[in-house]
Amino acid sequence: MKSIVPRKTRMMKGLTLFIGVLLCTAMLFPITASAAYYNTYSTVAKLNNANGCYAAQGFAVGSAYVYSVKVNSSNTKAVIYRTKMSDGSTTLMKNGDNGTTYATYLGHANDVVLSSIGGKFYMFVVTMNAGSMSLVKLKYVGTTFYKVGQYTFKYNGANKAMSGVKITSKDANKINFLFKSGLGLYRGSIPLTSNSGTIKVTNSFNLNIKDAKVNGSTISNITSYASQGLGYSNNIIYVPLTYKNVSVVLVYRNVSKATGTIKADSNLSFRITSAAYSDLFEIEGVGISNGGKLWFSTNRRTKPGDTAHDGVHYFNGYSLS
């Protein structure tokens, strides 16, 4: 004889089964906080092509101004622009050593970091050259800069070139740097008031970009992306990468304790895919302002040879907490 199960009992069994399936699913696919994804930006200033320097390279963010370096095709001239963050007004800086508006010793000038020392203001520029001009030290007063020194990078006894530079700490005796070469991060320091010398660097950690997620997904051809400089704030580095008209910024946390190969934060990502600048949208450098905005400089082209659109920008909606 077929037993008859009350309808309410059948419903309760069905609900119990559904909850069980839901719990098992949750165990297989943990529920995480919503990822933060930023893909729009605002332009604050245009960067012109003074002295034949058309390619944006190094970029640094100060308290009231950002500084952008552009170079010519042979890396024999470089110009520096100062942009006021509050209104976008931009000034081509003057070379106080010879009265021109360019420098001939900054090489590719791939990244820049700012520092105040003894009440005066300085820039450190990585040239991407190996040897005595690997890192150049400039003093700047308003919109005028002066060359005060240069350094050689040594790694395991050999000269080495670097593509990124940021300061992680400074005390009464020395400045501690984080340098970048490809996907390798290196540490080194200099005496606080030195102007020239040798910086012996040690490999600190490496970046995993292959497994990095941008808006929840990995990028299949990310190893084809060009690596740029880096930004640094609050023990976090921001690493821009570019492929044609797509630029992404990967975020790596807790770098002071990093060793081996580290992975990017999967819950914070940035990407600009530009239809307006379909030939190139290249984020060259990034930096965090005192207000927490993520600023960046670009090379932008609508077509080959069109170099009139480089600029200074920030990502909309993002503020470092």
Q: In this structure, what CATH number is given to the domain that contains residue 42? A: 2.115.10
Q: 106 is in which domain, residue-wise?
A: 35-315
Is the residue at 42 inside a domain? Answer: yes
Q: Which two tokens stand for residue 213?
A: 């997620």
- The three-state secondary structure class of 229 is coil
> What's the pLDDT tens digit per position in 46-72?
999 999 999 999 999 999 999 999 999
CA-only gyration radius of the chain, Å = 24
Is 25 domain-assigned? Answer: no
Q: How confident is the model at residue 119 (pLDDT cuts 50, 70, 90)?
A: very high
Question: Per the domain annotation, does 205 fall within a domain?
Answer: yes
Query: Is residue 10 one of the residues assigned to a domain?
Result: no
Is pLDDT of 199 > 50?
yes
Residue 38 pLDDT more than 80?
yes
pLDDT (average), residues 174-184: 98
* Count of domains for the chain: 1
pLDDT of 153 above 60: yes
Cα angle 152, 156, 159; round to 5: 30
Q: How far apart are CA 300 and CA 298, in angstroms?
A: 6
Hunting for tokens 């819950």 — which residue is that? 267
Task: Identify whether 19 is part of a domain.
Answer: no
Q: Residue 62: inside a domain, yes or no? A: yes
The residue with greater pLDDT, 2 or 163, is 163
Q: Is residue 227 part of a domain?
A: yes
The reply to whether 237 falls in a domain is: yes
